[in-house]
C-alpha cells in the first residue's frame, strides 16, 4: 500500500505549482520547489472522525387548529 504520491497545489497564489509528494510525507511539511513556501501536508482523516449529526430542533408548534370560534 505504500509508494503512493499526493498531489498538492502550492497555496501561494502567485505560484500555485502542482507538487507531487510521497504519501509517507503526510503530517510533515515540504517546501515548494518553485517558491520555497512551506506547505503542511494534511494527514489522512480518520474514518472515526465523523462529526455527530445535530439532532433536529424541537418540533415546530402545531398550526392553529381552526374551530375555536365562539358560536355567536
Q: Which residues bind Zn ion (CB under 5 A)?
A: 10, 12, 15, 17, 32, 34-35, 37
CA distance 57 to 62: 14
Identify which of residues 6 and 15 has a Cβ nearer to Zn ion in the complex: 15
What is the distance, to the nearest Å, from the Cα of residue 71 to the centroid of all Cα atoms in its chain? 60
Least distance (Å) between residue 5 CB and Zn ion: 17
CA distance 11 to 23: 18
Identify which of residues 7 and 69 has a Cβ nearer to Zn ion in the complex: 7
> What's the length of the chain?
72
Identify which of residues 17 and 22 has a Cβ nearer to Zn ion in the complex: 17
Amino acid at each position: 500500500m505504500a509508494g503512493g504520491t499526493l498531489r498538492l497545489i502550492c497555496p501561494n497564489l502567485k505560484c500555485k505549482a502542482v507538487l507531487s509528494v510521497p504519501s509517507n510525507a503526510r503530517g510533515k511539511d515540504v517546501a515548494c520547489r518553485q517558491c520555497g513556501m512551506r506547505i503542511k501536508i494534511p494527514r489522512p482523516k480518520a474514518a472515526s472522525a465523523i462529526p455527530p449529526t445535530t439532532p433536529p430542533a424541537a418540533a415546530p408548534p402545531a398550526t392553529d387548529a381552526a374551530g375555536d370560534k365562539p358560536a355567536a
